[in-house]
Amino acid sequence: MILIFRQDATEEEIQGAIRKIESLGYTPHLSRGTVKTICGVTGDDRAIGESEFDQLPGVESVVRVLKPYKLASREFHPDPTRVEAGGVTIGPGTFAVIAGPCSVETEEQVEASAALVARLGLKLFRGGAFKPRSSPYSFQGLGEQGLEILSAAAKRHGLTIVTEIMSEHDVDLIGRYTGIFQVGARNMQNFALLKAIGETRRPVLLKRSMMGTIEELLLSAEYIMKGGNSHVILCERGIRTFETQTRNTLDIAAVPVIKRLSHLPILVDPSHAMGDWHYVAPASLAALAAGADGIIVEIHPDPAMALSDGKQSLNHAHFEGLMGKIRALAPHLGVQVR
Ligand code: PEP
Ligand code: MN
């Protein structure tokens, strides 16, 4: 951190700031310019905020040099991280496609989608059993029964499950079934949940909140990694803006920005970002072109009958069509579809 003093700061005020830096255990480095006096704070100052200093008399402003997250940052870990799940290595060189229904509804529905995912040569199968619905009157998911249905279909087709966890109390239960914990947008800052998952060594797909900044997403990843779980996959799923034509606004810029700031893989969820199946294919191809490490996409054998997110779910024919385009484009970008 760097403290910039006001031009009229007195010597007493400058010395007061220096004492404050030392009292926090950091080393001050004063530099007196012809116009401005500044003071560097050395030591790992991620644990403190600008607010420690910006109210001190004589201080004009405080500039952060280190990012507030460490384990998730590129600076700390220059090589890209690859996360292994279900025989798929998620990270550079691979475009991972996770597909399946928004919610587990019936055995037949899950079987049909699992069979398609396997036939298309994919390995990662999504499906929600514990659903974070905006309304308490909407379908809330089948709970453990849903996990049983998912698990049976996944076993029949050699797939690995990706399913959402909403509470730290469900780590053991959901951990018995899932290959990748999915932390949904609404729980990006459920810190008790992040800490509990940090205690496991299971891969986790951490979705960006609809009102979360990229920095907040990386700080949430930091919570998980601080517990020792480094198998974090990030996911951009659209943020809230003034635009109403799509459910959210896909922040495609987050992909290259996160690639630069962090070593963690980043996926895109075109389904929740767009909210309308018509736009899911173009958003998926944009994700591939932008350098995302994969997508997580909702499919349904009969979207009109879906109990959640039918409007944005691809039917099986459309998903197969999208996979054809992804497979055609991927080799030009030097990535293998998994
Ligand atoms: C989901 O994947 O079904 C879901 C609820 O996504 P999000 O948390 O991004 O809204
Ligand atoms: Mn959904």
CATH number at residue 96: 3.20.20.70
Instruction: Inform me whether the pLDDT recorded for 210 exceeds 90.
Output: yes
Task: Return mean pLDDT, the chain.
Answer: 97
pLDDT of residue 263: 98
Do 139 and 199 belong together in one domain?
yes
pTM here is 0.93
Tokens of 323: 């996979």
Q: Where are the alpha helices (DSSP H) in 229-279?
A: 254-261, 270-274
Average pLDDT of the segment spanning 274-298: 98
Q: Is residue 68 one of the residues assigned to a domain?
A: no
Q: Could you give the number of structural domains in the chain?
A: 2
Choice from 98, 207, 308 to test ligand 1 binding pocket (greatest atom count within 8 A of CB): 207
The CB-side HSE value for 211 (13 A sphere, CA atoms) comes to 3
Confidence (pLDDT) at 49: 86
Identify whether 76 is part of a domain: no
Got the DSSP string for 28-90? EEEEE-SS-EEEEEES-GGGS-GGGTTTSTTEEEEE--S-S--TTBTTT--SPP-EEETTEEE
Q: State whether 184 and 44 are in the same domain.
A: no
For residue 44, the domain's CATH number is: 3.30.70.1140
From first CA to last CA, the distance across the chain in angstroms is 43
Cα(133) to centroid(ligand 2), Å? 9
What is the model's pLDDT at position 46?
84
Q: What is the 66 CA–ligand 1 centroid distance (Å)?
A: 32
pLDDT in tens, 30-81: 999 888 999 999 888 888 888 999 999 999 999 988 888 999 999 999 999 9
DSSP 91-159: STTEEEEEEE-SB---HHHHHHHHHHHHHTT--EEE-BSS---SSTTS----THHHHHHHHHHHHHHT-
Is the CB of residue 128 below 6 angstroms from any atom belonging to ligand 1? yes
* pLDDT of the residue at 332: 98
Q: Ligand 1: distance of its center to the CA of 281 in Å?
A: 18
pLDDT value at residue 65: 86
Band of the pLDDT at 279, cuts 50, 70, 90? very high
Tell me the pLDDT tens digit for each residue of 150-190: 999 999 999 999 999 999 999 999 999 999 999 999 999 99
Residue of the CA atom closest to atom 6 of ligand 1: 184
pLDDT score of 97 more than 90: yes
Q: Is 207 in the pocket of ligand 1 (CB under 6 A)?
A: yes
Domain ranges, residue 205 = 83-337
pLDDT 10s digits, 219-230:
999 999 999 999
Q: What is the pLDDT of residue 45?
A: 84
Pairing outcome for strands 294-298 and 88-90: unpaired
- Band (pLDDT 50/70/90 cuts) for residue 241 is very high
